[in-house]
Amino acid sequence: MIWGILQFPGSCDERDALHACELHGDGARLVWHESRDLDGVDGVVVPGGFSYGDYLRAGAIARFSPAMEAVAEAAEAGMPVLGVCNGFQVLCEAGLLPGALLRNVELRFRCHQVELIEEGTGETLSIPAKHGEGRYYAPEEMLDRLEANGQVAYRYADGHNSNGSVRDIAGVTNERGNVLGLMPHPEHAVDPLTGSTDGLRVFDRLGRGAFVNQGLTKAPRG
């Protein structure tokens, strides 16, 4: 599959995501934030960073970009979409994912390797996290619904939830399961030399529709 990685002014991890997608898929390219056309890609990554300086609120301005309009349409049609860190914030702001990301409970940016537990399989992944606003939050009844629908994709392992996310949630999907938001950075876990290769598994599972809620929809293309 061919991945497209959105590039906003202020994106930081777009080249890392490009590299990870090249390793995972059959190709990858950057998609400029002003482009309304996703250029025929099969999956999209909304990368980490500080889009538009994170002014106003993290992700609040990026959601209005032409490229995000295109992503919203593609997501509606079932295309796999991965939002990492700031990308997760953008997808929440855009209403493509439930919940919100608040400032870390310790009110400090923190960069460290964390362990994630994959829901369903129980696999443990070692992936770095780095953010100042990564505390996942949603109202109780929404959390109950997310859990009932199988929309919680990743949780922090015991002792690894340093940002104070509710119910240790690190990643969620939309109802259909083709849009995934994840606070830690799978694109920074694709090379044994820099720490781990567990991140490739996230791209792989999203790409082959492993999160897609079978009861609700058909598998995405690609």
Write out the catalytic residue numbers.
85, 185, 187
Number of residues that bind another protein (CB under 8 A): 31
Taking Cα atoms as reference points, which of 30, 31, 16, 44 lies closest to residue 186?
A: 16
Residue with Cβ nearer another protein (135 or 185): 185
Residue with Cβ nearer another protein (111 or 216): 111
Please report whether residue 111 would count as binding another protein according to CB under 8 A: yes
**Burial class of residue 145 in the structure, from the number of CB atoms within 10 Å of its CB (0-12 exposed, 13-18 middle, 19+ buried):** middle
Only segment of 75-83, 186-194, 202-210, 213-221 that touches another protein (CB under 8 A): 186-194
Q: How far is the CB of 54 from another protein (least distance, A)?
A: 8
Please report whether residue 11 would count as binding another protein according to CB under 8 A: yes
The dihedral over CA atoms of 220, 45, 24, 41, expressed in degrees to the nearest 10, equals 60
Q: How far is the CB of 85 from another protein (least distance, A)?
A: 10
Please report whether residue 63 would count as binding another protein according to CB under 8 A: no
145 in Cβ contact with 172 (< 8 Å): no
C-alpha R_g of the chain: 15
To 5 degrees, how large is the angle CA 152–CA 155–CA 159? 160
Please report whether residue 13 would count as binding another protein according to CB under 8 A: yes
For another protein, the binding residue among 191, 208, 213, 217 (CB under 8 A) is: 191
For another protein, the binding residue among 188, 201, 202, 220 (CB under 8 A) is: 188
Mark 79-108 as b/e (b = at least 16 C-beta within 10 Å).
bbbbbbbbbbbbbbbbebbbbbbbbbeeee
Q: Give the H/E segment covering residue 15.
A: helix 14-24
Question: Would you list the DSSP string of 164-185?
Answer: --GGGEEEEE-SSSSEEEESS-
Q: Which of residues 22-61 bind another protein (CB under 8 A)?
A: 49-50, 52-55
Residue with Cβ nearer another protein (20 or 179): 20
Taking Cα atoms as reference points, which of 88, 180, 76 lies closest to residue 134?
A: 88
Residue with Cβ nearer another protein (10 or 213): 10
Q: List residues binding another protein (CB under 8 A).
A: 9-13, 15-16, 19, 49-50, 52-55, 106, 108-112, 128, 130, 132, 185, 187-188, 190-191, 193-195
